[in-house]
Amino acid sequence: MPAIQLAVPLPTPPLNVVPFVSVERMMRLVLQTGIERFLAELAETIENDFRRWNSFEKHSRLAAHSRDGVIELMPTSDGELYAVKYVNGHPYNGRSGRQTVAAFGVLSEVWTGYPVMISEMTLLTALRTAATSAMAAKYLAPQGARTMAIIGNGAQAEFQALAFKTLLGVDQFRLFDIDASASEKCARNLAKAGLSPKILRSPEEAIEHAQIITTVTADKQMATILIDNMVGPGTHINAVGGDCPGKTELHPDILRRSGIFVEFEPQTRIEGEIQQLPSDHAVVELHRVISGEYLGRTSGNEITLFDSVGFAIEDFSALRYVRHLLRDTTDYEPLDLLADPDDPRDLFGMLMRAEARL
């Protein structure tokens, strides 16, 4: 696939207008692009940004934890653009018909501080998480892997399956969830996408013959979805669900047997599976593998683990990619967000002129 050129500027809108990509507009944008193409190009954009890792300001996300969930801000900048995402994680929202994760993001110019796009990121986060998982698996999964077990069949599961199909050619999916209706939902949706997943009755059955295991559960607890004797040599584990303090999915004995790869180590030490390990346990940041500084999978028998918690650079990439897509469409809503007085120093005069028009 040719490299995506993202430097093409958008037509300059009026200074007070900011393009807004709503949920409805995002769905249209994804479907017009094609889900698999969207995932592939988004993964390429994230991978390219990981190659220039040192260009970015990097911070662990700012999190406000409560008994029911977490609300987070995830900022980063490459010196030209600044991005920040607001996102929550509330595992029990589904009981009242709400999303477990809801998010929106802002992309701004550094040189003016003006936002150049605001976007929903509930759908976009699901897409970027799946794209990042599959991008990492290109370097970490066993060569020629065709079968993936997905443990946890909620809102993220279908995106994971389609990303692994698109980027790695995985075409056999084995599903398990403690809620059978979630697996049935996932299987229906994947069937519409041309796949034939199999629903299994236990995690043990689901991971049988799977070269890749994705864990993507939602409960905010120290859970043990996989125990040590369930994971055989040569497996790649894509651990997605453990993403905040006190929330994990894997028994620590699995971690001790695995080559562990992370996004931003200081954040993952707090939020990822490795919160269960001593602070000096060796892990490798994924950007070092992508840049060629460090090997990913080193043998057919190695167990590799991508301890994915989500990092701000991935959101930066996702917003940048969406803005790239907007250059060929007007499928966004103009927000009258910024004051634009005739004289930038005369904000009060703008208010008085508005009063005269009332």
Q: Annotated active-site positions, please?
A: 243
Three-state SS across the chain?
A: CCCCCCCCCCCCCCCCEEEEECHHHHHHHHHHHCHHHHHHHHHHHHHHHHHCHHHCECCCCEEEECCCCEEEEEEEECCCEEEEEEEEECCCHHHHCCCCCCEEEEEEECCCCCEEEEEECHHHHHHHHHHHHHHHHHHHCCCCCCEEEEECCCCCHHHHHHHHHHHHCCCEEEEECCCHHHHHHHHHHHHHCCCCCEECCCHHHHHCCCCEEEECCCCCCEEEEECHHHCCCCCEEEECCCCECCEEEECHHHHHHCEEEECCHHHHHHHCHHHHCCCCCCCEEHHHHHCCCCCCCCCCCCCEEEECCCCHHHHHHHHHHHHHHHCCCCCCEEEECCCCCCCCCCHHHHHHHHHHHC
d(CA 121, CA 16) in angstroms, rounded, equals 23
- In which residue are the tokens 């390429």 written? 44
